[in-house]
Amino acid sequence: MCRTTIVLFVAACGLLAGSCQRDGGATQPSATRAAAGTTAPMDSFTGTLQEGIVAIGGETTGWRLVGDAESGGMEIDVSRVRDKAAQLAGRRVTVTGRLTEREYVERGKVRVLVAERIDAAPPR
Protein backbone atom coordinates (compact mmCIF):
# COMPACT_ATOMS: atom_id res chain seq x y z
CA MET A 1 0.00 0.00 0.00
CA CYS A 2 2.72 2.48 0.99
CA ARG A 3 4.75 1.77 -2.17
CA THR A 4 1.69 2.37 -4.39
CA THR A 5 0.99 5.68 -2.64
CA ILE A 6 4.58 6.85 -3.18
CA VAL A 7 4.49 5.89 -6.86
CA LEU A 8 1.20 7.76 -7.39
CA PHE A 9 2.55 10.80 -5.53
CA VAL A 10 5.71 10.91 -7.67
CA ALA A 11 3.66 10.51 -10.87
CA ALA A 12 1.31 13.34 -9.83
CA CYS A 13 4.28 15.63 -9.09
CA GLY A 14 5.73 14.87 -12.51
CA LEU A 15 2.46 15.73 -14.25
CA LEU A 16 2.13 18.96 -12.26
CA ALA A 17 5.70 20.02 -13.06
CA GLY A 18 5.18 19.27 -16.76
CA SER A 19 2.18 21.63 -16.96
CA CYS A 20 4.19 24.64 -15.79
CA GLN A 21 6.54 26.91 -17.71
CA ARG A 22 9.41 28.92 -16.34
CA ASP A 23 9.03 32.66 -16.95
CA GLY A 24 11.58 35.09 -15.53
CA GLY A 25 12.25 33.05 -12.40
CA ALA A 26 8.59 32.55 -11.48
CA THR A 27 6.80 29.35 -12.34
CA GLN A 28 3.21 29.70 -13.53
CA PRO A 29 0.87 27.18 -15.11
CA SER A 30 0.87 27.70 -18.88
CA ALA A 31 -2.90 28.30 -18.89
CA THR A 32 -2.47 31.11 -16.35
CA ARG A 33 0.24 32.76 -18.49
CA ALA A 34 -2.01 32.63 -21.55
CA ALA A 35 -4.94 34.08 -19.62
CA ALA A 36 -2.74 36.86 -18.23
CA GLY A 37 -1.90 37.86 -21.81
CA THR A 38 1.88 37.72 -21.39
CA THR A 39 3.32 37.74 -24.89
CA ALA A 40 6.67 38.48 -26.43
CA PRO A 41 7.29 42.07 -27.49
CA MET A 42 7.00 43.03 -31.15
CA ASP A 43 10.27 43.20 -33.11
CA SER A 44 11.01 44.42 -36.65
CA PHE A 45 13.56 42.95 -39.05
CA THR A 46 14.52 44.01 -42.58
CA GLY A 47 15.86 41.78 -45.34
CA THR A 48 14.89 39.75 -48.39
CA LEU A 49 11.76 37.61 -48.02
CA GLN A 50 12.25 34.11 -49.46
CA GLU A 51 9.53 31.53 -50.06
CA GLY A 52 9.59 27.84 -50.90
CA ILE A 53 12.13 26.90 -48.22
CA VAL A 54 12.33 23.16 -47.45
CA ALA A 55 13.73 21.29 -44.44
CA ILE A 56 14.13 17.74 -43.17
CA GLY A 57 10.74 16.16 -42.50
CA GLY A 58 8.91 19.26 -43.70
CA GLU A 59 9.89 21.01 -40.46
CA THR A 60 9.68 24.58 -41.72
CA THR A 61 7.22 27.37 -42.29
CA GLY A 62 8.49 27.59 -45.89
CA TRP A 63 9.45 31.27 -45.50
CA ARG A 64 12.73 32.94 -44.50
CA LEU A 65 13.97 36.48 -44.06
CA VAL A 66 17.61 36.89 -45.06
CA GLY A 67 19.38 40.00 -43.80
CA ASP A 68 21.36 42.24 -46.11
CA ALA A 69 24.71 40.62 -47.09
CA GLU A 70 23.96 37.52 -45.01
CA SER A 71 23.23 33.86 -45.60
CA GLY A 72 20.94 31.64 -43.57
CA GLY A 73 18.35 33.99 -42.19
CA MET A 74 15.40 33.76 -39.86
CA GLU A 75 12.38 31.52 -40.29
CA ILE A 76 9.12 33.47 -40.67
CA ASP A 77 5.55 32.30 -39.99
CA VAL A 78 3.45 34.32 -42.45
CA SER A 79 0.11 32.62 -41.73
CA ARG A 80 -1.47 35.90 -40.53
CA VAL A 81 -0.23 37.93 -43.51
CA ARG A 82 -0.03 35.27 -46.24
CA ASP A 83 -1.45 37.37 -49.11
CA LYS A 84 0.89 40.29 -48.44
CA ALA A 85 3.86 37.91 -48.11
CA ALA A 86 3.05 36.31 -51.47
CA GLN A 87 2.98 39.76 -53.10
CA LEU A 88 6.35 40.73 -51.61
CA ALA A 89 8.21 37.40 -52.00
CA GLY A 90 11.74 37.90 -53.29
CA ARG A 91 11.78 41.59 -52.39
CA ARG A 92 13.35 43.58 -49.58
CA VAL A 93 10.83 43.91 -46.75
CA THR A 94 10.44 44.86 -43.11
CA VAL A 95 8.68 42.20 -41.05
CA THR A 96 7.15 43.07 -37.68
CA GLY A 97 6.11 40.30 -35.32
CA ARG A 98 6.87 38.25 -32.22
CA LEU A 99 9.84 35.93 -31.83
CA THR A 100 8.87 32.44 -30.73
CA GLU A 101 10.58 29.08 -30.48
CA ARG A 102 9.29 25.92 -32.12
CA GLU A 103 10.39 22.43 -31.20
CA TYR A 104 10.85 20.20 -34.23
CA VAL A 105 11.61 16.47 -34.08
CA GLU A 106 14.61 16.56 -36.44
CA ARG A 107 15.77 20.17 -36.19
CA GLY A 108 15.21 20.71 -32.46
CA LYS A 109 14.45 24.22 -31.20
CA VAL A 110 14.16 26.81 -33.95
CA ARG A 111 13.50 30.54 -33.53
CA VAL A 112 10.56 31.67 -35.63
CA LEU A 113 9.28 35.20 -36.17
CA VAL A 114 5.47 35.15 -36.27
CA ALA A 115 4.72 37.99 -38.68
CA GLU A 116 1.97 40.45 -37.78
CA ARG A 117 2.88 42.87 -40.55
CA ILE A 118 5.01 42.88 -43.72
CA ASP A 119 5.85 46.06 -45.60
CA ALA A 120 8.04 46.78 -48.61
CA ALA A 121 11.36 48.26 -47.52
CA PRO A 122 13.34 50.86 -49.46
CA PRO A 123 16.24 49.54 -51.55
CA ARG A 124 19.62 49.41 -49.87
Same domain, 32 and 75: no
Higher pLDDT, 124 or 65: 65
Same domain, 31 and 61: no
Same domain, 63 and 106: yes
Higher pLDDT, 3 or 70: 70
pLDDT of residue 113: 94
Q: For residue range 2-45, list pLDDT tens digits in order.
A: 444 443 343 433 433 333 332 333 333 333 334 445 567 899 99
pLDDT of residue 7: 37
Q: For residue range 72-118, list pLDDT tens digits in order.
A: 789 999 999 999 999 999 999 999 999 999 888 888 898 999 999 99
Instruction: Please name the residues in contact with 65: beta carbons below 8 A apart, sequence gap of 6 or more.
Output: 45, 47, 48, 49, 50, 73, 74, 76, 93, 95, 113
Its domain, for residue 87, covers 42-120
pLDDT of residue 29: 33
- Pure H helices in 1-70: 2-18, 30-36
pLDDT of residue 124: 81
Same domain, 72 and 96: yes
Q: Say how many C-beta atoms besides its own lie within 10 A of residue 100's C-beta.
A: 14
Same domain, 19 and 72: no
One-letter amino acid of 78: V
What confidence tier does 60 reach under pLDDT thresholds 50, 70, 90?
confident
Same domain, 61 and 99: yes
Higher pLDDT, 47 or 55: 47
Same domain, 23 and 50: no
